[in-house]
Amino acid sequence: MKHLLSTRDLGRDEAIAILDVAEDMADVANREVKKLPALRGKTVVNLFFEDSTRTRISFEAAAKRLSADVINFSAKGSSVSKGESLKDTAQTLAAIGADAVVIRHQSSGAPLVLAESGWIDAGVVNAGDGTHEHPTQALLDAFTIRRRLHGRAARGKALDGVTVTIVGDILHSRVARSNVWLLTTLGASVTLVAPATLLPIGVAEWPVTVAYDLDDAIAARPDVVMMLRIQSERMHAAFFPNAREYSRQWGLDDERLTALGPDSMVMHPGPMNRGLEISSGAADSAQSTVLEQVANGVSVRMAVLYLVLSGTHLAGEKSVSDERTVS
Ligand code: NCD
């Protein structure tokens, strides 16, 4: 795998293979010494143009567990705030000898530009680009679902027949997009529940069912309910009347958690707006996977960095020239 830019162009066998490598990596996390020498001598740059807690520290932990050298570069406090372009930044990283660049950027498509630019000959991993994609988040979500369902016997399995309901700010969510492509590729049935104002144009062409009533969706007791953060920083208009109204209609509160029953998983990529899209009762419940998602994120990112940096080819993988994303 040369780059990981999106989940849209991942094949089913390829996706399962990444999750299986992540299972191997998870075994390392249970050892007393959580470190492998696999990427000794390789340099991974975390290039973050947008704020991040979980994703950045997760990639950092992943690279370090594989013995790579890690350089963290956040746009705040760098020459990017003096107007340096992505090209100059990339060429600087090339001169330093970066082998992989993990990039988070506010513009959809920035990782693809970097991968195809020729400015730098490094593996590029998309850590979230605008509202477009966040492939490692979807992979860690799929990994978390698979593990909860199959435990130690998860290896080799897809998600055939698993029902996943994704709720909330779909419009601004790269997590939702990456999950829609990946989970459906793995055989899951995905339902989106949101106010009409927070659904993207073109959603009718996605391989999903769209619904507007959260109580009905919960009554169906899906295997997974994935709540999304209201992304106020991307909203330049009023998409719902006010926070109280949103939470009443679209929030997973304690009452809805009870209606959902104990067998459904409750997921959230974080950061959570407690009391808005999810109550503390739901976030901290036994069926919440929020912290498992974070822990699994390290294993999945170890797998991705390993596959990108070791030049390993996966089953069903397309050639690099075919690796294009469509927004
Ligand atoms: C998500 C992101 O940044 O896209 N967070 C994350 O990576 N865990 C979701 C969000 O910001 O709401």
Residue 44 backbone phi and psi in degrees, to 5? -110, 125
The answer to whether the CB of 270 falls within 8 A of the CB of 294 is yes
CA of 49 to the centre of ligand 1 (A): 13
pLDDT of amino acid 29: 84
Q: What is the pLDDT of residues 316-326, one digit of tens each?
A: 665 444 444 44
- Co-location of 40 and 121 in the same domain: yes
Q: What is the pLDDT of residues 19-58, one digit of tens each?
A: 999 999 999 988 899 899 999 999 999 999 998 889 999 9
Distance CA 143, CA 224 (A): 13
- Co-location of 168 and 286 in the same domain: yes
Residue 96 counted as domain residue: yes
Specify the pTM.
0.94
**Secondary structure element (H or E) that encloses residue 80, with its range:** none
Residue 15 backbone phi and psi in degrees, to 5? -65, -45
Residue 327 counted as domain residue: no
Pick the atom of ligand 1 nearest to 174's CA. 4
Residue 54 counted as domain residue: yes
- Co-location of 117 and 155 in the same domain: no
Domain that includes residue 21, residue range:
7-134+293-322
Give the mutation target among 172, 175, 231, 290 for probing the ligand 1 site: most ligand atoms within 8 A of CB.
Answer: 175
- Co-location of 94 and 44 in the same domain: yes
pLDDT of amino acid 232: 84
Q: What percent of the chain has pLDDT over 90?
A: 82
pLDDT of amino acid 181: 98
Average pLDDT of the chain to the nearest whole number: 93
- Co-location of 139 and 286 in the same domain: yes
Lowest-confidence region among 161-170, 192-201, 308-317: 308-317
Pocket lining: 134 vs ligand 1, CB cutoff 6 Å = yes
The one-letter amino acid at 233? E
Pocket lining: 231 vs ligand 1, CB cutoff 6 Å = yes
Pocket lining: 55 vs ligand 1, CB cutoff 6 Å = yes
Check the CA dihedral 210-214-220-222 and report its sign.
positive
The one-letter amino acid at 204? A
- Co-location of 158 and 261 in the same domain: yes
pLDDT of amino acid 81: 66
- Co-location of 43 and 94 in the same domain: yes
Residue 2 counted as domain residue: no
Distance CA 87, CA 77 (A): 18
Q: Which residues contact 159 (CB under 8 A, 6 or more apart)?
A: 142, 145, 146, 149, 183, 186, 187, 188
pLDDT of amino acid 318: 54
Residue 1 counted as domain residue: no
Q: What is the pLDDT of residues 54-112, one digit of tens each?
A: 999 999 999 999 999 999 988 776 777 666 788 999 999 999 999 999 999 999 999 99
CATH code assigned at 230: 3.40.50.1370
Residue 190 is encoded by which pair of tokens? 């995905």
Give the mutation target among 137, 169, 267 for probing the ligand 1 site: most ligand atoms within 8 A of CB.
Answer: 137
Pocket lining: 270 vs ligand 1, CB cutoff 6 Å = yes
Q: What is the pLDDT of residues 216-253, one digit of tens each?
A: 999 999 999 999 999 888 887 778 888 899 999 999 99
Across the range 159-171, mean pLDDT stands at 98
- Co-location of 16 and 103 in the same domain: yes
- Co-location of 149 and 286 in the same domain: yes
CA of 32 to the centre of ligand 1 (A): 30
Residue 14 is encoded by which pair of tokens? 């390829």
Q: What is the pLDDT of residues 264-295, one digit of tens each?
A: 999 999 999 999 999 999 999 999 999 999 99
Q: Which residue has the tokens 């069926």?
A: 287
pLDDT of amino acid 311: 78
Q: How many domains does the chain have?
A: 2
pLDDT of amino acid 326: 40
Q: Which residues contact 310 (CB under 8 A, 6 or more apart)?
A: 38, 39
- Co-location of 165 and 81 in the same domain: no
**Is the pLDDT assigned to residue 314 strictly greater than 80?**
no
Across the range 200-211, mean pLDDT stands at 97
- Co-location of 13 and 74 in the same domain: yes
- Co-location of 282 and 139 in the same domain: yes
CA distances from 118 to 87, 113, 114, 191 (A): 10, 9, 8, 39
